[in-house]
Amino acid sequence: MTYRERITPWMIVRLLPKMQRVVVGRFRRRVDAEGHLRFLRQHIPEGEFRIVFDCPSPESDELDEWDQRDGPNEPDLNPEIRLSGF
């Protein structure tokens, strides 16, 4: 999941035949997605659209990479750094 996808979790998708879908737009807030959905329904009345919340799954590779980089088991300081004068 890209940075842009993470900061814009609300999506409008257009439903197509044979269980296909197309992402029409991504939004930071649901109210923005609802406003755009009203616009789409007025201008494309034959289209079938849905608002969907897109969140990363816990099994995501990105989360695993983040845990490996910044996990709680890693020390905050380099063990070779010595604090002196305290």
Q: What is the pLDDT of residues 13-32, one digit of tens each?
A: 999 999 999 999 999 999 99
Q: What is the pLDDT of residues 53-76, one digit of tens each?
A: 998 766 655 554 544 444 455 444
Residue 12: count of CB within 10 angstroms of its CB: 21
Q: Return the pLDDT at 65.
A: 52
Cβ–Cβ under 8 Å, residues 31 and 75 = no
SS3 29: coil
Q: Return the pLDDT at 5.
A: 84
Q: Return the pLDDT at 62.
A: 54
Amino acid making up residue 56 = P
pTM over 0.85: no
